[in-house]
Homo-oligomer: A and B are copies of this chain.
């Protein structure tokens, strides 16, 4: 048997690390879905053991030694699948470099801090009291600044944080994109809210038994291509999607008895993430080429299925009769009225409950606050005031308290600073990918007839299967002919909310 190349050995080690991570993912999923309350403490110990073991392998001498050897060997490699090798070596080098710059003590400090901060945040939100969370946020921002300094950056510290979620992204580029979007989205939102206000509210209240919601959700998820032999749907307080192995993608949603669309759009959104995960090359599971490339691309998949497919007329022409069959109380509601309700625009305080027209305004605000916090332009104590002012400028109202304002999202308490921009990147990418996909006759015809196979195949080939072969912006160019471009998204919002 031929001796394994350093690259092959590296792949083997990466697969073992992925195995450990995937065990942690199973425990994490169980924690959100089924864990009894008294077991929380021990679960934390289980998870930290697994992540410590995986971390030790990634940062250990053996992995780094193999990587150096493989990079050296690579210069002389003439193998046909050179893009795959190159991409994996590039991403591993990047990951090891980032990991090596953070001292182990800092990692431990961060995980201890965020464990306490998550608890403090949920208490602070419950009491709508930013002051009690402020000391934690101060430490978290301090840590973020230190990490940014250790990782290094060209223009501003926020770059170093953002690129952990969106490979190759620059804060300035995102800021420019957001400056283009903000006045336009704000105008569309304002008009959309006006139009919605002028329209009488259609009462579609009734009882939507959870068991029947589950039937509809599963039928729809299966129909758009989610493979239930390699995944499932469970119930949690906050919907999410997590991957426990190359053929094991778990979605979750939450149910409201008075409104079946809440759980359904949770499923459509998470199934969009899930289709991406199920579309990755299983043989490369654990290697960068078998992993999603960035959050901005991931979110494009969830938003594409949730909004572009799931809120369209064509979609409901297919599915409304089935919904009426399952929920007889819908008999009183015409399809057109149902659709108008579905796309009602309103100014609301909570991002996760926001409609498409107003959603990005929440993101612009938080991106701005975060960026200024990290640069030092804004101090932690000033956050509630900055939030309220920014919110008023965008929405015309002031949140009634911190819980409805700057405390609403969990991300800061988890140390997730630099994350938020990817939500709007996802919206913009989704519109651009959907527009390109629909230019293909088979995709357009499929959507008209309620067949989602051609669209999924288009996404499989251009977005899912490459994994992390290319940087997100290169992926966008390859898939659509250009880098992330706000035009298709703005056109989509105008079409949907202003009918123009």
Contact = CB atoms under 8 A, between A and B. Distances in A.
Contacts of A53: 53
Given A49-B19, A229-B37, A245 B43 contact: yes
B27 A230 contact: no
Given A26-B26, A26-B27, A26-B46, A39 B245 contact: yes
A49 B36 contact: no
B232 A34 contact: yes
How many copies of this kind of chain does the complex include? Answer: 2
B34 A49 contact: no
A38 interface: yes
B42 A248 contact: yes
A42 B247 contact: yes
Range class of the A interface residue count? 35 or more
Interface centre among A22, A27, A38, A49 (most CB of B within 10 A): A38
Given A34-B234, A49-B16, A247 B39 contact: yes
A266 B230 CA distance: 29
A397 B16 CA distance: 52
A46 B15 CA distance: 11
A246 B40 CA distance: 10
Nearest to A33: B34
Interface string A385-404: 00000000000000000000
Given A23-B27, A39-B230, 16 more contacts: A16-B49, A19-B45, A19-B46, A22-B46, A23-B50, A30-B30, A34-B232, A36-B230, A38-B230, A38-B247, A38-B248, A39-B244, A39-B245, A41-B247, A42-B245, A53-B53
24 contacts: A16-B49, A19-B45, A20-B49, A22-B42, A22-B46, A23-B23, A23-B27, A23-B46, A26-B26, A26-B27, A26-B46, A34-B232, A35-B248, A36-B231, A36-B232, A36-B248, A37-B229, A38-B230, A39-B244, A39-B247, A42-B245, A42-B247, A43-B248, A46-B245
